[in-house]
Amino acid sequence: MPHNCRPTKIALSLALVALLCSSLFAQDEDWSEFETSVETTAASPEVDSTTVTAKPEKASPFRRRIMREDVTIRTKPLRLDSGGKIRLVYGVPKKAKNVPAVFVLDVESNRMANNSNLRLAGFSKAKIKEFQQASYLLKSPFGSNMLGNGFAVAYIVAEDLETLRSARSADWIGIFNRVRDLKQVDPNNVFLFSTREYANLSVYLTSRYNFSGFILEEPSYLLFSSKTYQSVIDRSNSLSSEEIWSRTDPTREYMYEQVISRISTPIMLIRNPDSKAYALTEKTLIPKLEQANAYYETVEIKGPGRKMTVFGELGDSGVLSVSPEIGYYAPTVSKWVDEIIAYMRINSSVDPIALRDPSEFRSW
């Protein structure tokens, strides 16, 4: 059964009440900085029963708890070449120096940033909005575990997905450079993590920018295509590579080759052997990685990790018009987190120091 950790009004309010207990003040260069805390959030069966489930021994927690005095979170408004307004958000261990960083492309970060159900008396809309934009660092299993394990974590948010889609290569390269240039970050240790919704973008950007490592959730669709070809994907297990390319768009095979051949970054591909996408990847993406002599490895974890509830019609292109609701299968995602953290540690030349974990404190 999936364990959907959709932030309800109650859950998000609890977390942000804790956040708002700490200070917020203007910084130089238009940055806003605020300390964050979730360690005072009381355990609630209504909130936690759907997310904290039985997990394998020593697996990472589904969501890592973080103490406010251990981290600093900052946001900066930016404008894209298209004119669109975005915010760069990042969290970093407090007083950190030369830590590895990870830039995240996850549709959940923008959904959390634009959750409209939050109502907190006594705080301005602007301040509440800033705390919403930082929610991914505290409420997401990926953001909270990466930050909790000592990595700087960065991402961008906007009012809608269309604004994010308007970002061009030069915008993204400028954003990555901003993260790399942060004084707390070691510029030689910046990673990219992408969920499958951003596979097209993240694979392309990795061909244009050199990261210390690229972690990708296996895409469930044909990359670089304007159509989903779902019927072909559903039958990919019984089709050959040649049949898949001929029944979709043969020109995409050339696009795969062109893009992948330019990637020099090590890749970790998270795969689910039970998914329909497994056979598609085995006959499209994997052969092209081999052909390009790409440095890659795969991690196979059985069972779904994430489930999207999509609003509105996708059409043949499969393009999301509204940020979807994301549900998580907690035991599976905990295994993902273990593999992601281990991969980034191995491929980083500096060793991140994990933050204190309040759940391990002894209760007197």
Among the ranges 46-50, 124-128, 226-230, 240-244, which has the highest mean pLDDT value? 240-244
Mean pLDDT, rounded, of the chain: 81
Beta-carbon count within 10 A of 320 CB: 17
pLDDT band at 305 (very low <50, low <70, confident <90, very high): confident
Say yes or no to pLDDT of 163 above 60.
yes
Q: Which of 218, 223, 214, 299 is nearest to 264 (CA)?
A: 214
Least confidently predicted of 5-9, 246-250, 318-322, 339-343 = 5-9
pLDDT at 48 (0 to 100):
31
Sheet with 267-271, strands from edge to edge, namely 24-26, 32-34, 71-79, 85-93, 152-158, 99-105, 185-194, 213-217, 267-271, 296-300
pLDDT at 257: 96
Give the mean pLDDT of 255-259.
96
Q: Which of 26-35, 49-58, 119-128 has the lowest mean pLDDT?
A: 49-58
Is the pLDDT confidence value at 52 over 90? no
* Radius of gyration (C-alpha) of the chain in whole angstroms: 20
* Average pLDDT for 100-111: 94
Higher-confidence residue of 345 and 44: namely: 345
Helices 330-346 and 141-148, packing angle to 10 deg:
40
* pLDDT band at residue 308 under the 50/70/90 scheme: low
Q: What percent of the chain has pLDDT over 70?
A: 76
Checking if the pLDDT of 58 tops 70, the result is: no
More confident residue, 18 or 109: 109
> What is the reported pLDDT for 314?
47
Mean pLDDT of 35-57: 31
- Mean pLDDT, rounded, for 170-190: 97
Q: Mind listing the domains of the chain with CATH numbers?
A: 9-43+50-351 (3.40.50.1820)
Single pTM value for the model: 0.81
